[in-house]
Every structure is written in structure tokens, then in C-alpha cells.
Amino acid sequence: MPAAPFEVADLSAGYGQTRVLESVTFAVPAGARLAVLGRNGMGKTTLFATIAGQTRRYGGTIRLDGKDLSDLESASRARAGLGYVPQARCIFPSLSVEENLQVGLKDRARSAIGEAYDLFPRLKERRNNLGSQLSGGEQQMLSTARSILGKPTVLLLDEPLEGLAPVICEELMAAFSKLAAAGDMTILLIEQRIQSAIDFADRVIIMERGRIAWSGTPAELSANPETVEKLLGVGSLH
């Protein structure tokens, strides 16, 4: 299944009576790579959780390939083609790597697990290890692999590099680039490693206090050090 376009329009959401997102609007063409940047606490994770159906939506719409997901439960959004890899790396610690991957297969044949092993050879080497026996980087690979086995057309990645060694970060980013290059997924990435994010993306949005404060290309952001310092709190991207 080819990648799908994705659109958020005038989205407001939060938790209980607390509003976190206000009038967030953006569109991602099919097969594109969007980096969602911003300092901590600016609403990035809430945005992805809202897209996945895990917060209270006050208004606005969420569309995947033209289909309105706004009123669907999380499971129905997943069936519609939305994949979500949360920051928490939600694997099953008491199941083996292979058993974790089987959960992601849904209605696909067990042989499809080979796709995950092709993307992350480390997982094949550890297929009989329990989730609790994996390193943080291996757990991130497992969480990502389990999601992609469901064949999403839009994939949300929330800070996949957090706390990981540089060599593991490189492996993960190479895998994400491989997924994007295949043309099967539109990928939205939240990441605090700013340079890794903009090297991966073809579009960037920066969030500030629950709103989109800036949007443009990586080249435009790199050429705008004032914006980088004001909204991201760093003096340079290099």
C-alpha cells in the first residue's frame, strides 16, 4: 500500500479541562517526511497522542488519505493506516522479540516478520530474548518494527533517539530513511536531536506553547539562526 497524505486542521486538544494544543494546522503530502521540533513542554507529544486518539479533542479534524479520523477510537485509526511509536517504547517485557513482533502482524502471515528482521538485523540475532533483556536501543527497534508490521501508511515516531548511544541512533535513522525511501509511508518525527531530524526531513514545523510557531524547509531553518535560537534554544544547528 502506498504512502498516504495526512492533514490536521484547526486542532485543539488536551487532558481533561487542560488545553495543550490550540488551532494546530498542517498538511503532509504522501511519502513526505515531517520533523516536529520544539523545546520540552511545547505540545509535541500531545500532538501525536491526539492524532493517535489518546487525548481529549476539543475541535478540529484529523484526515488520513482524505478519511476523517477525528471521531474514531485508537484501534480504528490504526486499522485506517496510522502507526504510532510512542516515546515510552511500549513493548511486552515478558514476551520474546519474536512474540512481540507477532502482536504487530494483525492479519498478516507470520513470515512477514522477516521484514522486521531485514530492517533491524539486531532483532533477528535476539529473536528469542525477552523484551526485558534488550537494551534501550533494541527496545526502540522492536517497538518500531512491531508498528511497521501493521503496514501503516502514516507513521508517527515520538523521540525515537532519546537516551540512545550515537551508533544506535545512526542505525535507527538509517532504518527510518529506508522506510521513507521505499515510498510506503508518510513519516512524522518528533526529535530533540535537531540535526538528525532536519537531515531526515523535507519539511519542518516548530511548536511553541501548543501552537505552530514556524514552518518551512530544513534549508530555510538552517538559514534562520534567529528562529533557531528563539524557538529551539540553541545557537546553531551545526
Residue 1 in domain: no
> For residue 238, what pLDDT is reported?
56
Residue 237 in domain: no
Residue 226 CB partners (closer than 8 Å, separation 6+): none
Terminal Cα distance for the chain, rounded: 37
Residue 234 CB partners (closer than 8 Å, separation 6+): 194, 228
Residue 28 in domain: yes
> For residue 216, what pLDDT is reported?
96
Residue 66 in domain: yes
Residue 238 in domain: no
Phi, psi of 203 (to 5 degrees): -140, 155
Write the single-letter amino acid at 210. G
Q: What is the pLDDT along the chain (238 residues), one digit of tens a residue?
A: 678 899 999 999 999 889 999 999 999 999 999 999 999 999 999 999 999 999 999 999 999 999 999 999 999 999 999 999 998 878 999 999 999 999 888 778 888 899 999 999 999 999 999 999 999 999 999 999 999 998 899 999 999 999 899 999 999 999 999 999 988 899 999 999 999 999 999 999 999 999 999 999 999 999 998 998 999 987 556 5
Q: How far apart are CA 43 and CA 26, in angstroms?
A: 15
Total count of domains within the chain:
1
The CATH number of the domain where 185 resides is what?
3.40.50.300
Nearest to 153 by CA among 71, 236, 67, 47: 67
Beta-bridged to residue 9, according to DSSP, are 61
Q: Residue 20: is it exposed, middle or buried by C-beta count within 10 angstroms (0-12/13-18/19+)?
A: buried
Q: How far apart are CA 41 and CA 44, in angstroms?
A: 8
> For residue 55, what pLDDT is reported?
94
For 53-202, strand residue ranges (E) read: 56-64, 67-68, 82-85, 154-158, 186-190
Answering whether pTM is above 0.85, one says: yes
Q: Domain range spanning residue 138?
A: 6-232
Cα angle vertex 149, ends 55, 120, to 5°? Answer: 110
